[in-house]
Amino acid sequence: MSVRRLRGLAATAALALLLTACGGDDDAATEVESGAEFKAGTTMAKLADKGKITIGTKFDQPLFGLRGPSGDPEGFDVEIGKIIAAKLGIEPDKIKWIETVSANREPFIEDGRVDIVVATYTINDDRKKIIDFAGPYFQAGQTILVKEANTDINGPDDLAGKTVCSVEGSTPAANIETSYPDVKLELTDAYSNCLEPLRNDQVDAITTDNVILAGFVDQNEGEFKLAGEPFTEEPYGVGLKRGDDAFRTFLNDTLEESYKDGSWDKAWESTAGKVLELPSPPAVDRY
Protein backbone atom coordinates (compact mmCIF):
# COMPACT_ATOMS: atom_id res chain seq x y z
CA MET A 1 0.00 0.00 0.00
CA SER A 2 2.55 2.54 1.12
CA VAL A 3 4.95 1.27 -1.52
CA ARG A 4 2.40 2.07 -4.15
CA ARG A 5 1.82 5.48 -2.66
CA LEU A 6 5.55 6.17 -2.68
CA ARG A 7 5.81 4.94 -6.23
CA GLY A 8 2.89 7.12 -7.20
CA LEU A 9 4.48 10.17 -5.61
CA ALA A 10 7.80 9.46 -7.23
CA ALA A 11 6.05 9.03 -10.54
CA THR A 12 4.26 12.32 -10.23
CA ALA A 13 7.49 14.05 -9.32
CA ALA A 14 9.29 12.41 -12.22
CA LEU A 15 6.50 13.39 -14.56
CA ALA A 16 6.62 16.99 -13.40
CA LEU A 17 10.37 17.05 -13.91
CA LEU A 18 10.01 15.46 -17.31
CA LEU A 19 7.47 18.04 -18.37
CA THR A 20 9.53 20.99 -17.26
CA ALA A 21 12.62 19.52 -18.83
CA CYS A 22 10.94 19.08 -22.21
CA GLY A 23 9.54 22.52 -22.09
CA GLY A 24 6.67 20.73 -23.74
CA ASP A 25 3.93 23.31 -23.60
CA ASP A 26 1.73 21.01 -25.66
CA ASP A 27 1.55 18.34 -23.03
CA ALA A 28 -1.89 17.90 -21.59
CA ALA A 29 -0.26 17.39 -18.23
CA THR A 30 -2.32 14.48 -17.04
CA GLU A 31 -1.72 14.08 -13.40
CA VAL A 32 -0.90 10.54 -12.57
CA GLU A 33 -3.12 9.29 -9.83
CA SER A 34 -1.06 8.40 -6.84
CA GLY A 35 -2.20 5.72 -4.48
CA ALA A 36 -5.01 4.49 -6.67
CA GLU A 37 -6.57 1.39 -5.17
CA PHE A 38 -8.60 -1.23 -6.91
CA LYS A 39 -10.44 -4.35 -5.92
CA ALA A 40 -8.13 -7.33 -6.04
CA GLY A 41 -8.47 -9.48 -9.15
CA THR A 42 -9.84 -6.76 -11.39
CA THR A 43 -8.05 -5.77 -14.57
CA MET A 44 -7.43 -2.36 -13.04
CA ALA A 45 -5.65 -3.89 -10.07
CA LYS A 46 -3.54 -6.07 -12.34
CA LEU A 47 -2.51 -3.15 -14.52
CA ALA A 48 -1.86 -0.84 -11.58
CA ASP A 49 0.31 -3.49 -9.97
CA LYS A 50 2.27 -4.06 -13.14
CA GLY A 51 2.74 -0.35 -13.55
CA LYS A 52 2.52 -0.86 -17.28
CA ILE A 53 -0.25 -0.90 -19.85
CA THR A 54 -0.33 -1.78 -23.54
CA ILE A 55 -2.55 0.46 -25.61
CA GLY A 56 -3.35 -0.07 -29.26
CA THR A 57 -3.66 3.08 -31.33
CA LYS A 58 -3.19 4.34 -34.85
CA PHE A 59 0.22 5.49 -35.99
CA ASP A 60 -0.78 7.13 -39.25
CA GLN A 61 -3.76 9.34 -38.38
CA PRO A 62 -2.95 13.02 -38.05
CA LEU A 63 -4.54 14.67 -34.98
CA PHE A 64 -5.57 11.38 -33.40
CA GLY A 65 -2.70 8.92 -33.49
CA LEU A 66 0.37 9.78 -35.53
CA ARG A 67 3.85 8.47 -34.89
CA GLY A 68 6.68 10.87 -35.43
CA PRO A 69 10.41 10.32 -35.64
CA SER A 70 10.63 10.19 -31.85
CA GLY A 71 8.94 6.81 -31.99
CA ASP A 72 5.94 7.66 -29.84
CA PRO A 73 2.52 8.44 -31.28
CA GLU A 74 0.84 11.80 -30.68
CA GLY A 75 -2.78 12.79 -30.89
CA PHE A 76 -6.16 12.94 -29.21
CA ASP A 77 -6.50 9.16 -28.91
CA VAL A 78 -3.05 9.07 -27.37
CA GLU A 79 -4.04 11.69 -24.82
CA ILE A 80 -7.19 9.77 -23.90
CA GLY A 81 -5.03 6.71 -23.45
CA LYS A 82 -2.75 8.69 -21.15
CA ILE A 83 -5.73 9.89 -19.11
CA ILE A 84 -6.86 6.30 -18.61
CA ALA A 85 -3.36 5.18 -17.70
CA ALA A 86 -3.00 8.05 -15.26
CA LYS A 87 -6.15 6.92 -13.44
CA LEU A 88 -4.44 3.55 -13.02
CA GLY A 89 -1.36 5.16 -11.60
CA ILE A 90 0.71 4.49 -14.72
CA GLU A 91 2.98 7.21 -16.05
CA PRO A 92 2.87 8.08 -19.76
CA ASP A 93 6.32 6.71 -20.44
CA LYS A 94 5.29 3.34 -19.04
CA ILE A 95 2.63 2.99 -21.71
CA LYS A 96 3.51 0.59 -24.50
CA TRP A 97 1.95 1.82 -27.73
CA ILE A 98 1.19 -0.75 -30.40
CA GLU A 99 -0.02 0.06 -33.86
CA THR A 100 -3.48 -1.28 -34.53
CA VAL A 101 -4.68 -1.03 -38.08
CA SER A 102 -8.33 -1.26 -38.95
CA ALA A 103 -8.17 -5.00 -39.58
CA ASN A 104 -6.42 -6.15 -36.44
CA ARG A 105 -8.10 -4.22 -33.64
CA GLU A 106 -10.44 -7.02 -32.57
CA PRO A 107 -7.88 -9.83 -32.85
CA PHE A 108 -5.37 -7.86 -30.78
CA ILE A 109 -7.89 -7.31 -28.00
CA GLU A 110 -9.07 -10.89 -28.12
CA ASP A 111 -5.66 -12.44 -27.78
CA GLY A 112 -4.57 -9.96 -25.15
CA ARG A 113 -1.80 -8.39 -27.15
CA VAL A 114 -3.21 -5.04 -26.09
CA ASP A 115 -5.11 -4.11 -22.93
CA ILE A 116 -7.27 -1.46 -24.57
CA VAL A 117 -7.63 0.06 -28.01
CA VAL A 118 -8.06 3.79 -28.50
CA ALA A 119 -7.77 4.10 -32.26
CA THR A 120 -10.54 6.04 -34.01
CA TYR A 121 -12.50 2.89 -33.17
CA THR A 122 -16.13 3.21 -34.25
CA ILE A 123 -18.63 1.49 -31.99
CA ASN A 124 -20.97 -0.79 -33.88
CA ASP A 125 -23.06 -3.87 -33.11
CA ASP A 126 -21.01 -6.27 -35.19
CA ARG A 127 -17.89 -5.44 -33.23
CA LYS A 128 -19.79 -5.64 -29.94
CA LYS A 129 -20.22 -9.34 -30.66
CA ILE A 130 -16.49 -9.83 -30.32
CA ILE A 131 -15.35 -7.13 -27.90
CA ASP A 132 -16.77 -4.52 -25.54
CA PHE A 133 -16.69 -0.74 -25.81
CA ALA A 134 -16.36 1.97 -23.20
CA GLY A 135 -17.46 5.45 -24.19
CA PRO A 136 -18.08 6.87 -26.73
CA TYR A 137 -15.53 9.56 -26.05
CA PHE A 138 -15.93 11.34 -29.36
CA GLN A 139 -18.49 11.68 -32.11
CA ALA A 140 -17.14 11.73 -35.64
CA GLY A 141 -18.91 11.33 -38.95
CA GLN A 142 -17.97 10.07 -42.36
CA THR A 143 -17.38 12.73 -44.97
CA ILE A 144 -15.51 13.42 -48.20
CA LEU A 145 -12.24 15.13 -49.04
CA VAL A 146 -11.74 16.77 -52.43
CA LYS A 147 -9.30 19.16 -54.04
CA GLU A 148 -9.79 22.79 -53.11
CA ALA A 149 -10.98 23.74 -56.59
CA ASN A 150 -13.51 20.95 -56.90
CA THR A 151 -17.13 22.08 -57.15
CA ASP A 152 -18.99 19.02 -58.40
CA ILE A 153 -18.78 16.93 -55.26
CA ASN A 154 -20.75 18.29 -52.33
CA GLY A 155 -22.05 15.17 -50.74
CA PRO A 156 -22.11 11.41 -51.04
CA ASP A 157 -24.77 11.45 -53.74
CA ASP A 158 -22.45 13.37 -56.04
CA LEU A 159 -20.02 10.47 -55.91
CA ALA A 160 -21.95 8.38 -58.40
CA GLY A 161 -19.62 7.26 -61.14
CA LYS A 162 -16.59 8.83 -59.48
CA THR A 163 -13.45 7.19 -58.12
CA VAL A 164 -13.03 7.35 -54.38
CA CYS A 165 -10.06 6.28 -52.28
CA SER A 166 -10.38 4.65 -48.88
CA VAL A 167 -8.86 1.95 -46.71
CA GLU A 168 -9.36 -1.77 -47.18
CA GLY A 169 -11.61 -3.18 -44.48
CA SER A 170 -12.66 0.15 -42.98
CA THR A 171 -16.20 1.17 -42.00
CA PRO A 172 -16.30 4.13 -44.42
CA ALA A 173 -15.32 1.88 -47.32
CA ALA A 174 -17.90 -0.72 -46.37
CA ASN A 175 -20.49 2.01 -46.07
CA ILE A 176 -19.82 3.26 -49.57
CA GLU A 177 -19.96 -0.23 -50.95
CA THR A 178 -23.35 -0.96 -49.45
CA SER A 179 -25.06 2.41 -49.74
CA TYR A 180 -23.45 3.91 -52.84
CA PRO A 181 -22.69 0.96 -55.11
CA ASP A 182 -22.04 2.91 -58.29
CA VAL A 183 -18.93 4.47 -56.82
CA LYS A 184 -15.58 3.07 -57.92
CA LEU A 185 -13.45 2.37 -54.88
CA GLU A 186 -9.65 2.37 -54.86
CA LEU A 187 -8.55 0.70 -51.66
CA THR A 188 -5.19 0.86 -49.96
CA ASP A 189 -3.83 0.19 -46.50
CA ALA A 190 -3.57 3.74 -45.12
CA TYR A 191 -5.54 6.93 -45.78
CA SER A 192 -2.36 8.90 -46.23
CA ASN A 193 -1.61 6.87 -49.34
CA CYS A 194 -4.67 8.42 -50.93
CA LEU A 195 -3.35 11.97 -50.87
CA GLU A 196 -0.94 11.73 -53.79
CA PRO A 197 -3.50 10.04 -56.08
CA LEU A 198 -6.01 12.76 -55.16
CA ARG A 199 -3.46 15.44 -55.95
CA ASN A 200 -2.86 13.88 -59.35
CA ASP A 201 -6.53 13.36 -60.16
CA GLN A 202 -6.13 9.62 -60.21
CA VAL A 203 -8.99 9.57 -57.71
CA ASP A 204 -11.70 12.19 -57.35
CA ALA A 205 -12.14 12.07 -53.58
CA ILE A 206 -11.12 10.41 -50.33
CA THR A 207 -13.68 9.26 -47.81
CA THR A 208 -13.34 8.51 -44.12
CA ASP A 209 -14.14 10.18 -40.80
CA ASN A 210 -14.23 13.97 -40.79
CA VAL A 211 -11.58 14.38 -38.13
CA ILE A 212 -9.07 12.28 -40.06
CA LEU A 213 -9.73 14.29 -43.20
CA ALA A 214 -9.49 17.55 -41.27
CA GLY A 215 -6.00 16.52 -40.28
CA PHE A 216 -5.07 16.14 -43.94
CA VAL A 217 -6.61 19.51 -44.79
CA ASP A 218 -4.49 21.10 -42.12
CA GLN A 219 -1.29 19.31 -43.13
CA ASN A 220 -1.58 20.38 -46.76
CA GLU A 221 -2.51 24.03 -46.47
CA GLY A 222 -4.95 25.12 -49.10
CA GLU A 223 -4.84 22.02 -51.27
CA PHE A 224 -7.87 20.17 -50.05
CA LYS A 225 -11.21 20.81 -48.47
CA LEU A 226 -14.06 18.86 -46.94
CA ALA A 227 -17.08 18.49 -49.20
CA GLY A 228 -20.39 18.80 -47.47
CA GLU A 229 -21.45 17.70 -44.02
CA PRO A 230 -20.79 14.37 -42.31
CA PHE A 231 -23.39 11.88 -43.46
CA THR A 232 -22.99 9.17 -40.86
CA GLU A 233 -22.40 8.98 -37.15
CA GLU A 234 -19.17 7.39 -36.04
CA PRO A 235 -18.95 7.21 -32.25
CA TYR A 236 -15.39 6.45 -31.17
CA GLY A 237 -15.05 4.11 -28.21
CA VAL A 238 -12.36 2.43 -26.15
CA GLY A 239 -12.15 -1.24 -27.07
CA LEU A 240 -11.62 -3.80 -24.32
CA LYS A 241 -12.05 -7.51 -23.78
CA ARG A 242 -15.59 -8.80 -23.93
CA GLY A 243 -17.27 -9.47 -20.63
CA ASP A 244 -14.88 -7.45 -18.48
CA ASP A 245 -17.69 -5.38 -16.96
CA ALA A 246 -15.72 -4.08 -14.00
CA PHE A 247 -13.07 -2.70 -16.31
CA ARG A 248 -15.69 -1.24 -18.62
CA THR A 249 -17.36 0.55 -15.71
CA PHE A 250 -13.98 1.88 -14.61
CA LEU A 251 -13.24 3.16 -18.11
CA ASN A 252 -16.64 4.81 -18.41
CA ASP A 253 -16.16 6.42 -15.01
CA THR A 254 -12.74 7.69 -16.04
CA LEU A 255 -14.11 9.16 -19.26
CA GLU A 256 -16.99 10.93 -17.53
CA GLU A 257 -14.62 12.34 -14.96
CA SER A 258 -12.40 13.68 -17.70
CA TYR A 259 -15.38 15.50 -19.18
CA LYS A 260 -15.99 17.18 -15.86
CA ASP A 261 -12.49 18.00 -14.68
CA GLY A 262 -11.34 19.57 -17.94
CA SER A 263 -8.77 16.97 -18.91
CA TRP A 264 -10.85 15.92 -21.93
CA ASP A 265 -10.92 19.54 -23.08
CA LYS A 266 -7.19 19.87 -22.51
CA ALA A 267 -6.53 16.66 -24.41
CA TRP A 268 -8.48 18.05 -27.36
CA GLU A 269 -6.94 21.51 -27.35
CA SER A 270 -3.40 20.17 -27.29
CA THR A 271 -3.96 17.91 -30.29
CA ALA A 272 -6.93 18.03 -32.65
CA GLY A 273 -8.00 21.34 -31.14
CA LYS A 274 -5.24 23.10 -33.03
CA VAL A 275 -7.22 22.53 -36.20
CA LEU A 276 -10.79 21.87 -35.15
CA GLU A 277 -13.15 23.56 -32.76
CA LEU A 278 -13.67 22.12 -29.33
CA PRO A 279 -16.79 19.95 -29.51
CA SER A 280 -18.83 18.83 -26.54
CA PRO A 281 -18.08 15.33 -25.35
CA PRO A 282 -20.76 12.73 -26.14
CA ALA A 283 -22.67 10.95 -23.40
CA VAL A 284 -21.12 7.71 -22.35
CA ASP A 285 -23.17 4.62 -23.17
CA ARG A 286 -23.29 2.06 -20.37
CA TYR A 287 -25.01 -0.84 -22.02
138 contacts: CB under 8 Å, gap ≥ 6: 76, 211, 235, 236, 279, 281, 282
206: enclosing H helix or E strand: strand 205-209
128: enclosing H helix or E strand: helix 125-128
The residue (of 201 and 285) whose beta carbon lies closer to another protein is 201
- Which residue, 64, 235, 49, 227, is CA-closest to 141? 235
Nearest-approach distance from CB 37 to another protein, in angstroms: 34
Burial class (CB in 10 A: 0-12, 13-18, 19+), 246: middle
Residue 23 contacts another protein per CB under 8 A: no
Q: Which of 120, 192, 208, 270 is in the footprint of another protein by CB under 8 A?
A: 192
Residue 42 contacts another protein per CB under 8 A: no
168 contacts: CB under 8 Å, gap ≥ 6: 102, 103, 187, 188, 189
| Stretch in the footprint of another protein (CB under 8 A) among 61-69, 152-160, 205-213, 272-280 | 61-69
Residue numbers 66-85 binding another protein by CB under 8 A: 66-71
Cα gap 206→188, rounded to integer Å? 11
Q: Which of 168, 257, 261, 285 is in the footprint of another protein by CB under 8 A?
A: 168
| Stretch in the footprint of another protein (CB under 8 A) among 105-113, 148-156, 225-233, 244-252 | 105-113
Cα gap 166→186, rounded to integer Å? 6
Residue 200 contacts another protein per CB under 8 A: yes
Residue 124 contacts another protein per CB under 8 A: no
Residue 155 contacts another protein per CB under 8 A: no
| Stretch in the footprint of another protein (CB under 8 A) among 89-97, 121-129, 145-153, 188-196 | 188-196
Beta carbons of 66 and 73 less than 8 angstroms apart? yes
180 contacts: CB under 8 Å, gap ≥ 6: 156, 157, 159, 160
| Stretch in the footprint of another protein (CB under 8 A) among 15-23, 81-89, 189-197, 256-264 | 189-197
The DSSP letter of residue 189 is S
Beta carbons of 115 and 55 less than 8 angstroms apart? yes
Residue 107 contacts another protein per CB under 8 A: yes
Residue 199 contacts another protein per CB under 8 A: yes
| Stretch in the footprint of another protein (CB under 8 A) among 16-24, 180-188, 231-239, 270-278 | 180-188
Task: Return residues touching another protein (CB under 8 A).
Answer: 59-60, 62, 66-71, 99, 101, 103-104, 107, 111, 113, 168-169, 186-190, 192-193, 195-197, 199-200, 202, 219-220
